[in-house]
Amino acid sequence: MTTDLAARAPAPTEHGELLRWVAEVVALTRPDDVVWCDGSRAEWDRLTTQLVDAGTFVRLDEKAKPSSFWCVSDPADVARVEDRTFICSELELDAGPTNHWMHPAEMTAVLDDLYRGAMVGRTLYVVPFCMGPLGAADPKLGVQITDSAYVAVSMQVMTRMGARVLKALGSDAPFVKALHSVGAPLAPGQADVAWPCNETKFICHFPETREIRSYGSGYGGNALLGKKCFSLRIASVMGRDEGWLAEHMLILKLTSPAGAVHFVAAAFPSACGKTNLAMLSPTIPGWTVQTLGDDIAWMRPGADGRLYAVNPELGFFGVAPGTGPHTNPHAMTTLERGHTIFTNVALTDGGDVWWEGATDVPPAHLTDWHGQSWTPETGTPAAHPNSRYCTPMAQCPILAPEWDDPAGVPISAIFFGGRRRSTVPLVLESRSWAHGTFLGATLSSETTAAATGAVGVVRRDPMAMLPFLGYHVGDYLQHWLDVGARAGSAAPKIFYVNWFRRGPEGQFLWPGFGENSRVLKWAVERIEGTASGVQTPLGVVPTPGSLDLDGLDVDPADLAAALAVDREQWRDELPLLEEWFATIGDRLPGALRDELTDLRVRLG
């Protein structure tokens, strides 16, 4: 009976390939029902109400957070699963040394076995979506099939989706096939759980056929397939083939008191400060920051040689803990405007949400992310460290007017940054595009709760893309060099930053957050040729007077320590860089090997 379902459900499209694929997935997964998502407000209301009735969502107080919902996941499904993430290229060599690999045919067989009957008792949602503005010359279209209503409503926040995308697909436009199942079929009469998922998880990418297949998880980056899976892993391959860059970067607009505008893109690993920098409230008078994106940038060369950035997403899927009125007031305002899904934060007795850092003083009583009663004496965090909000970008009070422009914005500066307790100074300017690519290629950062596994372990994370590369890291670095060479003098200037350096007592040496505007200012003044800097073996750092410190209460010794380039520490770092380059193997571009040799010489 279920094999006829695709034919019985009124399909609002004449796209032959899409209809064929939906019928094939229906036959394999055997859902009870098929729903084509239209992206309407009525659909949001219907699906969120359904999720409330199912016990997955709790509706928040309408005055505090209109049309918003709280939910908690299975405690074993709280983050991206990098060890279960695969790049299934035809050749293992093309996935490179940083990715898990399985041959596409072998992986398809494994997954087909798992998908067989996986949607029994559930509804299959067809979610047509577009990454980036629909009005783009070459809109990047996708269709996600999912058996999770949570995913369907989250995709409505995070992507341009629904009827208008189906229309853009017409009868034959190409699209990325993104199949997702939580892997939890329901036997007749079996009661559902609030967060269905499976212990077995697979997040698989087929770069040659531009397909994604995800199984077993309902969590963000594993399940909202337009995000990391499409916009980074698959799009990095599209970018390689088409001559552009798909990057794990925020995009911001910086305006000086004189009205000079610079667009800045910045790549930091997961949970290392992208959202906060994108929504920064400058502490220096007259400067403003506006937001265009907090996680992903697609940068294409324009006719003038500059790189133009577009944010493919429509929402923010942000880390909740640490977000508060002092650190990120604009994120707080975005959330207050509602239409937000909160996952794994705590619930207040008044029907609002809370997490560590939301207020200075915690409420006297909460329901924590395990659904348990919590008081400040409980002694465990009320919110999971990787708890998230999923909220529409359009609600951000400092959204830049250019945010939806299909042409994108010209990037003046690229920042690379990680979370390092030592060694890496507050800011460095690279000597050239190739040197900047070297700094990005050797970026290191301590792991965070955004992925399962140990937290706080230093690892190399090239351009903050380690978990998101759709192909060989060596080829990717060569692509960076090629894009820069084509841009020539129009290429953005590359900077390297570290907000997380610590002193001997473990204190942050730099206050961060809004104060990072001082670093942004120095960077654009370097580009304009008005700020001075001093050469170090690593690159140029600010001279004592060139970083604007007006009104900043910071211990001069801490500041000096934050800016210091310690030759000893860097000499100790050299073998680690060698080791990393050896991992990349013979596809490492020679120009980057030369940069390492030059660094060794400069360090003496």
Ligand X SMILES: O=C([O-])CC(=O)C(=O)O
Which residues are part of the catalytic machinery? Answer: 272
Residue 512, contacted partner among ligand GTP, ligand X, none, CB below 5-8 A by kind: ligand GTP
CB of 248 to ligand X, least distance (A): 7
161 binds ligand GTP (CB under 6 A): no
Residue 228, contacted partner among ligand GTP, ligand X, none, CB below 5-8 A by kind: ligand X
CB of 358 to ligand X, least distance (A): 19
321 binds ligand GTP (CB under 6 A): yes
Q: Is 210 annotated as contributing to ligand binding?
A: no
Q: Which of 122, 140, 228, 501 binds ligand X (CB under 6 A)?
A: 228
Mapped onto helix, strand or coil, the DSSP state of residue 292 is strand
- Within 285-314, the residues that bind ligand GTP by CB under 6 A are 294-295
- Distance, CA of 500 to CA of 511 (rounded, Å): 9
Of 295 and 548, the one with the shorter C-beta distance to ligand X is 295
- Distance, CA of 190 to CA of 521 (rounded, Å): 59
Of 150 and 500, the one with the shorter C-beta distance to ligand GTP is 500
229 binds ligand X (CB under 6 A): no
Q: Which DSSP symbol is given to 204?
A: E
CB of 24 to ligand X, least distance (A): 28
3-state secondary structure 296-312: CEEEEECCCCCEEEECC
341 binds ligand GTP (CB under 6 A): no
521 binds ligand X (CB under 6 A): no
Q: Nearest to residue 184, comparing CAs of 149, 221, 227, 226?
A: 149
Q: Is 333 annotated as contributing to ligand binding?
A: no
213 binds ligand X (CB under 6 A): no
Stretch that binds ligand GTP, among 124-132, 133-141, 320-328, 454-462 (CB under 6 A): 320-328
Of 354 and 433, the one with the shorter C-beta distance to ligand GTP is 354
Residue 221, contacted partner among ligand X, ligand GTP, none, CB below 5-8 A by kind: ligand X
462 binds ligand X (CB under 6 A): no
> Using CB under 6 A as the criterion, what x/- string covers residues 493-512 for binding ligand GTP?
------xx-------x---x
**Contacts by 321-326, CB closer than 8 A, 24 or more apart:** 321/355, 321/356, 321/357, 321/381, 321/383, 321/385, 321/387, 322/356, 322/357, 323/275, 323/276, 323/355, 323/357, 323/358, 323/389, 324/357, 324/358, 324/359, 324/360, 325/359, 326/513
322 binds ligand GTP (CB under 6 A): yes
- Distance, CA of 377 to CA of 43 (rounded, Å): 41
318 binds ligand GTP (CB under 6 A): yes
Q: Is 222 annotated as contributing to ligand binding?
A: no
| Alpha-carbon distance values, 391 to 265, 318, 335, 395, 435 (Å) | 21, 8, 7, 8, 37
Q: Is 338 annotated as contributing to ligand binding?
A: no
Q: Is 595 annotated as contributing to ligand binding?
A: no
CA atoms within a 13 Å half-sphere pointing along the CA-CB vector of 226 = 31
- Distance, CA of 152 to CA of 554 (rounded, Å): 47
Residue 486 makes CB contacts below 8 A (sequence gap 6+) with: 243, 301, 305
| Alpha-carbon distance values, 185 to 119, 197, 419, 591 (Å) | 5, 10, 41, 52
Residue type (1 letter), 388: R
Stretch that binds ligand X, among 109-117, 221-229, 253-261, 543-551 (CB under 6 A): 221-229
Q: Which two tokens stand for residue 343?
A: 């996952």
The answer to whether the beta carbons of residues 487 and 307 sit under 8 Å apart is yes
> Using CB under 6 A as the criterion, what x/- string covers residues 252-281 for binding ligand GTP?
----------------x-xxxxxxx-----
Q: Which of 295, 368, 515, 525 binds ligand X (CB under 6 A)?
A: 295
CB of 317 to ligand X, least distance (A): 5
- Within 43-82, the residues that bind ligand X by CB under 6 A are 80
- Distance, CA of 458 to CA of 462 (rounded, Å): 13
Size of the site for ligand GTP (CB under 6 A): 22
438 binds ligand GTP (CB under 6 A): no
CB count in 10 Å sphere of residue 394: 13
Q: Is 328 annotated as contributing to ligand binding?
A: no
293 binds ligand X (CB under 6 A): no
Q: Is 407 annotated as contributing to ligand binding?
A: no
Of 169 and 277, the one with the shorter C-beta distance to ligand GTP is 277
The answer to whether the beta carbons of residues 428 and 443 sit under 8 Å apart is no
Q: Nearest to residue 294, comparing CAs of 336, 323, 259?
A: 323
Positions touching ligand GTP (CB under 6 A) are 268, 270-276, 294-295, 318-319, 321-322, 327, 450, 499-500, 508, 512-513, 516
